[in-house]
């Protein structure tokens, strides 16, 4: 099977000078997680939901704390593009994604943009054509990155970055109670916090002026969003002995990228689109 048979086309694009707010709105409007960046018809980069989450975390550099209407997309995009031709074998394309640690391939024919292949496309392939290939327990990741409901958004972003993942499972002991994804963080950071969200008082003091004038102080209140403020509490889980293709269909139906795997109420793993992509890559072996 070739990439052209399953890739997404046409591709939603954005210009490098357009604001991050516009990138966010395009992702919401088209229900996608990647935008190709074009400048005068030339490919110059790609921006993902994960980029939004990392760029807008509260521990980011000063320029990233400007209003999102003032931040150009080129500030957060990735300029190094990994591309493939539409005639590339799907298993090889999946292997490219895994080896490069990316979640999409830009598909080009010559210098022309013709599509994009994402892990969602590969998950759809798995769901439709690979039923009976494996149980969830055979493919799941047993190392699950977790946090508790009181952890800060900054901590979750740090966990995602360190482990190159797009979600953190929120647990109470060994029981999963919620999940936070890059989308939850990106969009939460772009909005004013709801009434009742905890705030931290931060005092700023200027250096003493000449002639012994008193120091000038001002106070800013910073929202302290935590996992509990943004996590999805209607958590969907899957048993370890479920067919992986059925789990893949569930991901597509519910528009999610990862399913916590349980035995009883105990968290034992997580099945993600990356795990499914790895399985598709093995078809070429």
Task: Let me know if residue 60 belongs to a domain.
Answer: yes
Task: Let me know if residue 202 belongs to a domain.
Answer: no
| Nearby residues of 229 by Cβ (< 8 Å), 6 or more positions away | 153, 188, 193, 194, 197
What DSSP state is assigned to residue 17? T
Q: What is the pLDDT of residue 259?
A: 95
Q: Rounded to whole angstroms, how far apart are CA atoms 266 and 237?
A: 11
Sign for the pseudo-dihedral over CA of 147, 152, 154, 155: negative
- pLDDT tier at 4 (50, 70, 90 boundaries)? very high
| Nearby residues of 116 by Cβ (< 8 Å), 6 or more positions away | 7, 8, 9, 11, 34, 36, 104, 105, 106, 107
Q: What is the pLDDT of residue 69?
A: 66
Task: Let me know if residue 243 belongs to a domain.
Answer: no
Rounded mean pLDDT of 16-34? Answer: 91
Q: Rounded to whole angstroms, how far apart are CA atoms 264 and 245?
A: 21
Rounded mean pLDDT of 167-172? Answer: 95
Residue 180 host element (H or E):
strand 175-181
Task: Let me know if residue 151 belongs to a domain.
Answer: no
- pLDDT tier at 89 (50, 70, 90 boundaries)? very high
Rounded mean pLDDT of 15-41? Answer: 91
pLDDT, one tens digit per residue, over 50-59 is 888 776 654 4
Task: Let me know if residue 185 belongs to a domain.
Answer: no
Range of the domain at 27: 3-129
Number of domains in the chain: 1
Mean pLDDT lowest among 36-45, 92-101, 220-229: 220-229
Q: What is the pLDDT of residue 213?
A: 53
Instruction: Yes or no: say if 33 and 166 are a contact pair by the CB < 8 Å rule.
Output: no
Mean pLDDT lowest among 59-63, 80-84, 250-254: 59-63
Task: Let me know if residue 16 belongs to a domain.
Answer: yes
The CA-based angle 264-268-272, given to 5 degrees, is 115
- pLDDT tier at 74 (50, 70, 90 boundaries)? very high
Mean pLDDT lowest among 8-12, 107-111, 163-167, 223-227: 223-227
Rounded mean pLDDT of 157-168? Answer: 88
Task: Let me know if residue 26 belongs to a domain.
Answer: yes
- pLDDT tier at 125 (50, 70, 90 boundaries)? very high
Task: Let me know if residue 113 belongs to a domain.
Answer: yes
Q: What is the pLDDT of residue 198?
A: 46
Q: What is the pLDDT of residue 3?
A: 97
Q: Rounded to whole angstroms, how far apart are CA atoms 71 and 22?
A: 10
Residue 61 host element (H or E):
none
- Quick one: which of 55, 69, 24, 59 has its CA closest to 224? 59
How far are the Cα atoms of 16, 52, 138, 139, 224 from residue 251, in angstroms, in the given order?
32, 22, 17, 15, 31
pLDDT, one tens digit per residue, over 191-245 is 444 444 444 444 444 444 555 555 545 444 444 678 988 888 889 999 999 999 9
Find where tokens 């890559």 sit.
281
Q: Where do the H-state alpha helices sit in the chain?
A: 20-30, 49-55, 90-100, 119-129, 136-139, 153-163, 182-189, 227-230, 244-254, 273-281
Q: What is the pLDDT of residue 284?
A: 74
CATH code: domain of residue 33: 3.10.580.10
Q: Rounded to whole angstroms, how far apart are CA atoms 254 and 250?
A: 6
């Amino acid at each position: 099977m070739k990439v052209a048979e399953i890739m997404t086309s046409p591709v939603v694009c954005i210009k490098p000078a357009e604001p991050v707010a516009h990138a966010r709105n395009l992702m919401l409007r088209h229900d996608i997680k990647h935008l190709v960046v074009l400048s005068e018809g030339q490919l110059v980069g790609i921006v993902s939901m994960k980029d939004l989450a990392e760029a807008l975390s509260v521990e980011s550099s000063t320029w990233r704390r400007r209003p999102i209407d003032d931040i150009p997309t080129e500030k957060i995009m990735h300029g190094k593009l990994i591309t493939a031709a539409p005639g590339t074998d799907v298993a090889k394309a999946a292997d490219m994604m895994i080896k490069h640690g990316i979640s999409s391939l830009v598909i080009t024919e010559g210098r022309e943009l013709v599509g994009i292949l994402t892990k969602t496309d590969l998950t759809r392939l798995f769901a439709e054509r690979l039923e009976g290939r494996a149980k969830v327990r055979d493919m799941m990741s047993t190392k699950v990155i977790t946090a508790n409901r009181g952890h800060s958004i900054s901590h979750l972003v740090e966990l995602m970055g360190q482990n190159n993942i797009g979600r953190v499972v929120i647990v109470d002991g060994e029981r999963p109670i919620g999940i936070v994804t890059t989308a939850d963080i990106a969009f939460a950071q772009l909005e004013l916090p709801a009434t009742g969200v905890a705030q931290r008082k931060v005092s700023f003091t200027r250096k003493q002026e000449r002639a012994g004038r008193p120091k000038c102080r001002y106070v800013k209140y910073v929202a302290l969003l935590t996992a509990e403020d943004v996590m999805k509490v209607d958590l969907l889980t899957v048993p370890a002995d479920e067919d992986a293709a059925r789990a893949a269909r569930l991901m597509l139906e519910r528009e999610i990228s990862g399913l916590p795997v349980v035995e009883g109420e105990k968290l034992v793993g997580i099945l993600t689109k990356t795990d499914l992509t790895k399985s598709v890559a093995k078809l070429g072996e």
